[in-house]
């Protein structure tokens, strides 16, 4: 039995995650420059996990294709903000399409445009993919990721191809990213408690009975898929402006596996689970990376072979699927423990 699915507004369900992510951003992000950068990337990942929660968590349909929307969002925001002389150099090498060179705008408008175009692409592809369920849907969305990746990786007329697009302007203010994440939390929470969100959850719980109740499964899934595409595109846009460069490889298999792991380990059925999974996997992943690089953790050296991080996270992913499929949050939203309220 799957858990989760709030039906009415609760201040603690909504503002609890916002307060926690704000506190962590404030206290961790201001500790050092390296931790600030890690915090910024974590906020980008969290946006992506929220995108997955909207669709995968509420519909129960596994999607490997959301990396496509993040890739497109990153590409558009990067190309719209990259210096014209950088793009002009690519044109001089007879690689980049000339119409792309003069396109230029500020970061925040670029983020909005990238999210909207990603949502449009999600709606376009979802109009076909949302007719599928189960294994067929998973394979089809994985094919979508593969097609998108190969188009951008091998075509230098529309972008850097297998190379990197450098000098992308960065968002140095971490609190801008935090604000975007907080707004996304509000949007996702309001969607989850809306009649549309509850209808989507009903299709997850019993896809056979839903049509008998007059529920149009295709319609509700397509709307959720489009919204999740918007958030995934925004995640990609945020990521490129933290990294300061666009590379197609950043949004392929490793990105897909990592963000899905965050969602599943935290608990796909709730917003609180999405936040917990992002925090836990980001923290463990960073500690394991430091151990791979033989860097001290609180003054202690504990070296592990390179590649161990991916293996350990994969093992944790499988363990959660086997013994606690509802994740750390167990499908529940954030709430203050009873003994705290007395």
Give the 3-state secondary structure of 83-105.
CHHHHHHHHHCCCCCHHHCCCCC
pLDDT, position 180: 97
CA–CA separation, 190 and 180 (whole Å): 15
In contact, 197 and 221? CB cutoff 8 Å: no
pLDDT, position 5: 53
pLDDT, position 139: 95
Number of other CB atoms surrounding residue 103 within 10 Å: 14
Positions in the chain whose pLDDT score sits under 50: 1-3, 338-342
Task: Give start and end residues of each alpha helix (H) in 131-270.
Answer: 134-154, 174-193, 195-205, 217-243, 253-266
CA–CA separation, 253 and 232 (whole Å): 15
CA–CA separation, 235 and 114 (whole Å): 10
Tokens (6 digits) for 64: 């490997």
Strand-pairing partners, residue 300, are: 297
Tokens (6 digits) for 317: 């992913």
User: 182 vs 53, 74, 237, CA distance in Å?
Assistant: 15, 20, 16
Cα-only R_g, the chain: 20
Tokens (6 digits) for 290: 């430091």
Instruction: Look at residues 87, 11, 61 and name the one whose alpha carbon lies nearest to residue 246.
Output: 87
pLDDT, position 2: 47
Buried b (16+ CB within 10 A) or exposed e, 185-217: beebbebbbeebbebbbbbbeebeebeeeebeb
pLDDT, position 212: 77
In contact, 111 and 231? CB cutoff 8 Å: no
CA–CA separation, 246 and 312 (whole Å): 28
Tokens (6 digits) for 242: 């933290």
Instruction: Look at residues 245, 90, 97, 271 and name the one whose alpha carbon lies nearest to residue 187.
Output: 271
pLDDT, position 317: 87
pLDDT, position 94: 64
Which residue's entry shows tokens 């197609």? 248
């Amino acid at each position: 039995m799957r858990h989760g699915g709030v039906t009415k507004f609760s201040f603690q369900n909504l503002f609890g995650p916002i307060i926690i992510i704000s506190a962590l951003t404030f206290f961790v992000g201001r500790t050092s420059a390296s931790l600030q950068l890690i915090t910024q990337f974590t906020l980008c990942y969290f946006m992506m996990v929220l995108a997955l929660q909207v669709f995968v968590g509420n519909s129960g349909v596994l999607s490997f294709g959301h990396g496509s929307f993040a890739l497109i969002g990153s590409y558009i925001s990067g190309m719209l903000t990259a210096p014209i002389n950088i793009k002009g150099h690519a044109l001089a090498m007879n690689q980049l399409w000339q119409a792309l060179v003069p396109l230029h705008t500020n970061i925040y408008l670029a983020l909005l445009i990238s999210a909207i175009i990603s949502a449009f692409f999600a709606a376009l592809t979802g109009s076909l993919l949302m007719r599928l369920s189960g294994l067929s849907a998973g394979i089809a969305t994985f094919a979508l990721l593969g097609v998108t990746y190969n188009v951008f990786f091998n075509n230098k007329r529309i972008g850097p191809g297998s190379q990197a697009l450098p000098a992308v302007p960065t968002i140095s203010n971490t609190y801008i990213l935090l604000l975007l994440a907080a707004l996304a939390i509000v949007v996702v929470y309001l969607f989850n408690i809306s009649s549309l969100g509850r209808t989507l959850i009903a299709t997850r719980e019993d896809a056979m009975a839903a049509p008998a109740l007059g529920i149009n499964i295709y319609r509700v899934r397509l709307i959720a898929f489009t919204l999740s595409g918007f958030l995934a595109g925004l995640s990609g846009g945020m990521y490129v402006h933290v990294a300061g460069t666009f590379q197609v490889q950043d949004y392929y298999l490793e990105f897909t596996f990592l963000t899905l792991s965050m969602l599943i380990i935290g608990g796909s059925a709730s917003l609180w689970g999405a936040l917990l999974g992002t925090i836990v996997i980001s923290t463990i992943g960073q500690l394991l990376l430091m151990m791979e690089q033989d860097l001290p953790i609180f003054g202690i050296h504990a070296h592990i072979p390179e590649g161990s991080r991916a293996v350990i996270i994969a093992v944790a992913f499988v363990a959660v699927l086997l013994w606690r499929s509802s994740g750390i949050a167990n499908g529940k939203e954030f709430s203050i423990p009873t003994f705290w309220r007395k």
